[in-house]
Every structure is written in C-alpha cells, then in structure tokens.
Structure 1
C-alpha cells in the first residue's frame, strides 16, 4: 500500500532541456524633455493612447499649479480618448474632474460625476475612494449632515482605520460648535438631501436634524474609538508615522477633556467600542479589494450607535453632557 505523498512524478527525473540563449536586439530608451506634453506637437499623433497620456499629464500638472479650469478641460479631453476597457484610468480621470468641479464651485456637476463613479464601483477600494471624494465635496460646500453620513459609511467599511473615526469626531465638533454658537443648526450646514448608498433614512434624518446631546455623545464615541485604535497601532509604528499618531492621540485626549464625559459614560462607551478590537478579528475583517456583490455591512447605527444608547450613556437630562469649555480643536 502506498502512503499518500510517498510517490514521485516521473517528470522529476527527466533530463533538463538545454536552454537556447537569445540575443536581445539593441533598445533605445525614449528621452523626454521636462513637460514635453505641454508642447503642441505632442498631440500630432493618431495614437489614442498617446493622446490620452498627453491630456492626462496636462491635467495633473494644471491641478498641481492650481489652475482647476484648465485641468477640468484637459481631463474632459482625456476622457474622450480612454479605451472602454481601461477602467482604472477612467475612474482616475472622473475623480479628477469631480475634484476640479468642487474647487470651481460646481457642486451639482461634482456630485453627478461622483454618481457615475458610484454606478461603476465594483469593489471596496472603489467604494472607499468614492466615499472620500464625497466627503471632500460635502466638506467644501459645508454640507455637514452628508459629510457625517459618508464618514460613518467609511467607519463601517474600514472600522479599524483611526483617521475616519477622527474625522467623524471633528465633524461632530464642528456641528456642535455651530449649534452652541447660534443656538440652532444653519440650514445650509445641515443639508442632507443626497441619497446615501445604504439607504439609511433614519440616519439621514438624524444628520439633517441633529440633537445637540446626540452630537456630543457621537463626538465622544468617535474620539474614544480613535484613541483605542491609535494605542494599538502605534506599537507597530515608527518615525514620522508614529509621530503623527502621537500628535493625534494628544489632540484626542485634549478634546475629550473639553467634552468632559462622566466616568461612567466614558467607561460604557469604551467597553462597547473595544468589543471588536481583537488582533485576530481585526485581521479577519480586512475587506480591502473585496467585491461589493458579496459585501454585507451593518449600518453605523446597528453596529455601534444603538449599543451606545442602550448603555444609558445618554439620559434624558442632557445638561450634564455639555462641555465645560469651547469645543474648538
């Protein structure tokens, strides 16, 4: 009886075929002058790929120079020459156009381009880029409610990324400061009319008509989660990356001191927000590049917020939940 794995394939004992050496023909590398693509002669070609490169390089340079209208025009021309199967460059160009429209104050056009990207998104990397783009657009136009919803979706998608939690906390502070200063939320800052990807109408309503105590609690929650994640990740960091984390930790501690949660509230939130912070689970939950067709995510409310409310961290008397000092970070 043969033991499984004890036999050898006959090919192991065959003589190695003699290799035939191939002499490569001489190769002359193409030399390009700096900003060669800016020359009008660069477009004197029928090669669609070359034209695409020229317009793309021109657009990227214009963005660096701060000439967003010129960049938008170049991106638009580039789009006409992109092959149908070149989805990576197409997404890059569409995102560049959306960012240029944002800088030029063209909010509707920027959101239209974001919607095109949304329909073409096929994996979590695409969705992450899309949400970051939407955050940029909404932040630029002061739409705090929609900014919060996009950041919450980023926290759902990448729950172990401390910077999304940090940015969500900062957005809550911005909204809390606005309500504290004016006594109400300015309509243009709380606008949340855009349809969100996960259809969470209850969260949309909460973002559009935020309650001050809930904003305060969500800010505390985000900064506590940020602190927990940064403390774990800094053990693997060094150099400027570690310095950035240390600076963020210091800022987070200072903000929590100003928000001034009670010890019982702080403990309750910490327990809920640290439940999934297990090294093995953090590795298993990595969804980078996963197809959206198989992706199943709980909403921010289901995964964290309802649990926070059930702890009693927010009682009916909200007076104790006011920060003792200004919430500016």
Structure 2
C-alpha cells in the first residue's frame, strides 16, 4: 500500500532541457537619481499614484532635515492624491502631519488630526500607533495628565510590552524629582490623574517591577545584542528601584501582584496584535492592576500613607 504523497512523477527529477522550453521575461529595474522627487519634473505626470509618492518622499525628507513646515505642506499635498481605499497611506500621512504640527507648536491642529485618526482606527495596531502619537504630542507640550493616561492605556492594550511600562516608570520618576513644580503645569486632563507624591512613587515602583518581570521572561528567547541591551536595562531598573528606596516587603507584594498574569497560556490568550477593536475587551489600568495594588495597603505598610499633592 502506498502512502499518500509518497509516489513522485519521474519528470520531477528529469533534466531541465527535458521539461520543455520555459519562457523567461527580461526585467529592467528602474534607476532613479538621489532625491529625484525634489525635481520639478517629477510632478510632470498625470498618474495620481506617482504624485502621491513624490509628495510623500518630499515630506519624509523634510522631516529628516528638520524642516517641519515644508514637510507639513508636502504631506498636505500628498493627502489630495491618496485614493479613498488606500487607508494605510492615509493614516501614515495624517500621523506625519500631526507630528509636524506639534513640532511647529500648533497643538490644536495636531489634536484635530489625532481625532480624525481616532475615528478611523479599526484594529489594535491602529490604536497602538494612535496612543504612541498622543504620548509624543503630550510630551512635546508638557501635558502631564494626558500623557500619563495614554501610557497607561498602552500598558492595558499591550500588557506584555516591557517598554511601555518602562516609559511609564521613567515618567513617574521624573515627576517625583520635580514634584514641587507640578502646580505650575496646570490641570491638563479631563480624567483625574493622581499626582500625589506617594502615588507617583508607587506607580514608579510598580512600572519598574513589571518591566523587570517582562524582560526576564523575554530573556529566555533572546541572544546577541538584544540580550545585552536588556541586561543593561535590567541594571538601570535595579538602580532606579534602589533610588526609590522601597522596602523588601513592598517589592515582594508588587512583584506578586504584577506577575499574576505572567504565564504562557494567559499571555497567549491576551495577545491582541492586529485584532479588530470590536472583538477586543480591554480592562482599564485601574481595574487590572492599580486597584489591586492600592487594596493591599502597600503605602501604609511602607510608611508613606497618602500625602497631599496635585490631582489633574
């Protein structure tokens, strides 16, 4: 009895000349001079796709050169030539325009573009890019509350990405070091973000511990320069935790809470990269982690309690 798929046609092993003449078409690659798209002749075409490419390349080059007004103008022109069904390029151009507006100090227009991107977001990749864009814009304008909320949303959307947690921890640490100036920052967020010194301290500890846990999980799958980079980050995490001066009991409690969902099966179930937003159910940062941490009474146990401070 033959095993299915175990018999082969003899022609498979015959010489190429026995298989008949194969037609091979020639291909001549198009050669372009450096920065060809900057030439005025590049727009001498009726092809909308070519015009779209020219304006996009001009915008990208202007961004690299730090000429954000020229980049914004080029991106705006590019937008006019993008086909309605080319949503990925449209999102790319709108994001570029928003970043240029932020660099030019036009926060209002930057946020208007963010709103357009928000309405058109349909999957987790779109939402991730949107939140990272928000973090960048809020950081540029010194909007503390919204920036922290966006970082927390990133942590909720991608709970196993260590770098979002690391960014949140660094932000809290920076705010702690300049805590006396928080009053001057204004009330930036619609939702309350507690910026009391004790809560900032606890959130910094929490974020750094979560980062450490995730990097140690990932370390088993990495090698070469990536592994070395993570070792360097782990060292900086230890230094940051020493600087925060948390007692051993606090560190142990935080480690237990923040490692509850770190098992292979749970991590596989929660992997949401590219999923439709309609099928994703996200717990807020408070629901998933923060409320649990506060319920442990960790601040009182560490001798910090709830200190007065600024709430945005």
Residue 135 of structure 1 deviates from its aligned partner by 0.3
Residue 210 of structure 1 deviates from its aligned partner by 2.0
Moved more, 225-234 or 51-60: 225-234
The answer as to 2:78 corresponding to 1:78 is yes
The answer as to 2:104 corresponding to 1:119 is no
* Structure 1 residues 186-224: Cα deviation after superposition (integer angstroms, max 9, x where no partner): 234x5114xxxxxxxxxx21x1x5222111111111011
Structure 1 residue aligned with 2:185: 187
CA distance in 2, matches of 1:255, 1:13: 64
Q: TM-score, normalised by structure 1?
A: 0.84
The answer as to 2:141 corresponding to 1:156 is no
The 8 Å contact of residues 250 and 302 in structure 2, kept in 1 or not, is answered as no
CA distance in 2, matches of 1:20, 1:28: 25
Structure 2 residue aligned with 1:141: 141
Residue 268 of structure 1 deviates from its aligned partner by 1.0
The 5 A counterparts of 1:314-329 are 314-315=299-300, 319=304
Structure 2 residue aligned with 1:270: 255
The answer as to 2:246 corresponding to 1:248 is no
Distance of aligned partners of 1:20 and 1:131 in 2 relative to their CA distance in 1, 3 Å threshold? farther
Q: TM-score, normalised by structure 2?
A: 0.89
The 8 Å contact of residues 160 and 214 in structure 2, kept in 1 or not, is answered as yes
The answer as to 2:95 corresponding to 1:98 is no
The 8 Å contact of residues 261 and 321 in structure 1, kept in 2 or not, is answered as no
CA distance in 1, matches of 2:101, 2:244: 36
> For this pair of structures, how many residues does the alignment match?
299
The 5 A counterparts of 1:43-62 are 43-62=43-62
CA distance in 2, matches of 1:154, 1:52: 32
Structure 1 residue aligned with 2:14: none
Residue 173 of structure 1 deviates from its aligned partner by 1.3
Structure 1 residue aligned with 2:295: 310
Structure 2 residue aligned with 1:299: 284
CA distance in 1, matches of 2:26, 2:71: 38
The 8 Å contact of residues 217 and 314 in structure 1, kept in 2 or not, is answered as yes
Residue 317 of structure 1 deviates from its aligned partner by 8.3
Distance of aligned partners of 1:321 and 1:237 in 2 relative to their CA distance in 1, 3 Å threshold? farther
Q: What secondary structure sits across from 2:82 in the alignment?
A: coil
Structure 1 residue aligned with 2:196: 211
Structure 2 residue aligned with 1:326: none
- Runs (5+) with no aligned partner, structure 1: 1-7, 194-203, 323-329
CA distance in 2, matches of 1:33, 1:279: 50
